[in-house]
Copies of this chain bind each other. A is one copy, B any other.
Amino acid sequence: MALRLYELVGVEETRPFSPYCWRIRMALAHKGLDATSIPWRFTEKDAISPYKSEKVPVLLDGDASVVDSWAIANYLEVAYPDRPSLFGGEGGRAMARMLNWWGDIAVIGAMFPLIAADIHGHLRPVDQDYFRNTREARFGKSLEAVAADRDAKVEGFRKGLDPLRLTLKSQPFVGGAAPNYADYIMFGGFQWARVTSAFALLKPEDPVYAWREKMLDAFDGMARKSEGYPV
């Protein structure tokens, strides 16, 4: 049963960048599973409409299709129970649900204004139009205006990472002694930024920075080998 994963890309197919797709890329590696990448772009809605989704990741596993990163992680945990666990038990699965929401808000959501203009620079023209229109409507201002005060705004982003930072002062990974899906939830956002933006989100002395380095090294440097900026 070949696994295939629709992954968001821009101009370069070697530069998948969706934070949600990266959560799943890391989860697949954690499970020791290979998946063929199917590059997908924002405006290619038709390609995934058979799976009743307008967004990626979409995972195809033989005849099965699963949409949404949280649903896919749960699918992988159930479908591949003999592989290393993503959650470390039922308590972890339940608590990861909250960490997933926190990651959506405090990592991805707070990071987005800081890198949105840079993401735009990596898209094909037709996707640039789509991205600019939808995101500027969401922000209520131009991508350039959103980017303009990011040197000030990054302080708030960093402060918002305190629960993650304090955890990483208490133990090596969010998942404990070794990374698990809780780490991939958070790392997806940082890899999204690394692939699309040269903006320095973290200071080198930050424990989150050191953790990100370890995540970039995981699985034989899988995430670091993907095209990206030095971080």
Q: Which of A2-26 contact B (CB under 8 A)?
A: none
> Contact: B92 with A166, CB < 8 Å?
no
CB distance from A99 to the nearest CB of B (A): 6
CB distance from A142 to the nearest CB of B (A): 25
What secondary structure prevails in chain A residues at the interface with B?
helix
Q: Quick one: CB contact mask for A129-145 with B, threshold 8 Å, 1 for yes?
A: 00000000000000000
Q: Inside 8 A of A182's CB, which chain B residues have their CB? A: 91, 94-95, 98
**CB closest residue in chain B, given A90:** B88
Q: Inside 8 A of A96's CB, which chain B residues have their CB? A: 91, 95
CB distance from A162 to the nearest CB of B (A): 6
- CB-CB nearest 9 A-B residue pairs: A88-B91, A89-B89, A91-B92, A94-B176, A95-B95, A102-B163, A98-B167, A101-B166, A101-B163
